[in-house]
Amino acid sequence: MSDPGGLRIGYIGLGNMGAPMAQRLLGRPGGLTVLDTRPEAVAPFVEAGATAATDTAELAAACDLICVTVLDDAQVRDVVAGTGGLLSTARPGTVIAVHSTISDTTATELAAQCAEAGVDLVDAPVSGGAPGARNGTLAVMVGATDEAFAKVAEPFGHFAEIVIHAGPVGSGTRMKLARNLLHFISFTAATEAQRLAEAAGIDITELGKVVRHTDAITGGAGAIMWRDNTSQLGAADSWFPIFSHVRDLGEKDLSLALDLGERLGVELPLATRALAGLGVGLGVGTGSTAQAHASEEHA
């Protein structure tokens, strides 16, 4: 198993994400064994040269690296440690990679259980959705030992553009949860923006076009995520003038949006929270616009 390129890979779960990820592993030197509860999901892989396993235990006995993409924590626990699960036949040195987004505590608990059998479990959730899986452009966030990460980095590179070693087991999931926190808060903010635009008589489908266009240019929220910590910045720090400028622009626009919302009778709780916390979150402190708004609120 010193040559990651020669690992025999097993893949469990050939759904919307698992199937395109597994497809990009076809043709690797070590070969591919697949398993899914639906025969119609397995058939195209067999036709393309993969081997079909009849159950989890059979797959584990034949493979060096096993990728798991199932629905939730309960299914992951069952596949890994349930009756007839992977641990029933996996050989010492085997790596089990869980791509499902699960609790970080599930990952660490299962990793400890696997370690007793000499098996490495790594949590390796992905970001980029089915299009990223099909195109091989996913981001994979891996919680693993250095040794286990060295084994999975090359195979993961077949379906991912970025493979990040986030830290020890559990870290991949924690990174994914932070990433998805931003994702779904931004969705909530988008619904708030739509309510404001609709109340103002704006065609929100046209607003959506503008958002998608400009986010593709500016990078969206990721454009400010360059620092290696979240401490407050000193005035001499090179980031201070940059983020102060971002804060001032943001506070101005948020204040104007809140004023429009007040006139239209539209509540904007996320915008209110953003105005109060933007500068502090950027590490440059609250700006004059937010301070003035806070004074008016308490007047």
151 catalytic residue (yes or no): no
| Gyration radius of the chain over CA positions | 24
Contact present, 33 and 62 (Cβ < 8 Å): yes
Which entry of 151, 176, 209, 252 is annotated as an active-site residue?
A: 176
* Amino acid sitting at position 271: A
Q: Which residues of 208-244 are buried (b: 16+ CB within 10 A; e: fewer)?
A: eeeeeeeeeeeeeeeeeeeeeeeeebeeeeebbeebb
Q: Cα–Cα distance between 218 and 200 in angstroms, integer?
A: 25
**Of 96, 113, 28, 29, which Cα lies nearest the Cα of 60?**
96
Tell me the DSSP string of 228-292. S--PPPPTTSTHHHHHHHHHHHHHHHHHHHHHHHHHHT---HHHHHHHHHHHHHHTS---HHHHH
| Six token digits for residue 144 | 């693993």
Q: What is the DSSP letter of 50?
A: P
**Of 89, 86, 82, which Cα lies nearest the Cα of 97?**
86
CA distances, 69 to each of 15, 80, 217, 276, 297 (Å) = 8, 12, 32, 40, 49
Q: Cα–Cα distance between 235 and 171 in angstroms, integer?
A: 33
H or E element that contains 215? helix 204-218
Residues classed as catalytic? 176
